[in-house]
Amino acid sequence: MEAKAIARYLRVTPMKARRVVDLVRGKQANEALAILKFAQQGAADPVYKVLASAVSNAREKADREGLAFNEEELFVSEAFVDEGPTMKRYQPRAQGRAFEIKKRTSHVTMIVATDEDQKGGTN
């Protein structure tokens, strides 16, 4: 089984979010949630919410299809961060100049899967 969660337009720079996502890619879902819960980076909180949502989506999908669900079997099969739109703001500087401030956004995607999906896909 595979489930996905996407958070779009997060107000965190893609570079900082990628550092956090790299910590959990390929790990078991519960272990990844524990890592994100205690990570010091500011981007860890929104990434934690996306991963928790993906696990919840997997639980709902299993219930809908009538399959047995074991959260221990889930792992982070794919996790990536794409760049969203950049908000441009201007700050006044000396002698009438303007300095551009770029407020970057991110789109975080997390896909969790069970081991059976991985075994079936490698044939």
| In the chain, domain spans | 2-113
Mean pLDDT calculated for residue range 87-113: 97
CATH homologous superfamily, domain 2-113: Ribosomal protein L22/L17 (3.90.470.10)
CA distance 115 to 39: 26
Tell me, rounded to whole angstroms, the distance of Cα 79 from its chain centroid: 6
Helix intervals (H) in the chain: 14-24, 29-37, 44-65, 115-121
Q: Measured between alpha carbons, how far is residue 92 from residues 69, 74, 102 in Å? A: 56, 50, 14
Tokens of 88: 């441009």
Percent of the chain predicted with pLDDT > 70: 93
The whole-number pLDDT of residue 69 equals 87
Q: Residue 122 above 50 pLDDT? A: no
Q: The pTM is what?
A: 0.88
Q: Measured between alpha carbons, how far is residue 114 from residues 6, 33, 45, 47, 51 in Å? A: 19, 16, 24, 20, 14
11: CB partners within 8 A, 6+ apart: 103, 105
Query: For the segment 81-92, what is each residue's pLDDT rounded down to a tens digit?
Result: 999 999 999 999
Q: Is 70 helix (H, G, I), strand (E, B) or coil?
A: coil
103: CB partners within 8 A, 6+ apart: 11, 86, 87, 88, 89
C-alpha closest to that of 1 among 57, 81, 49, 47: 57
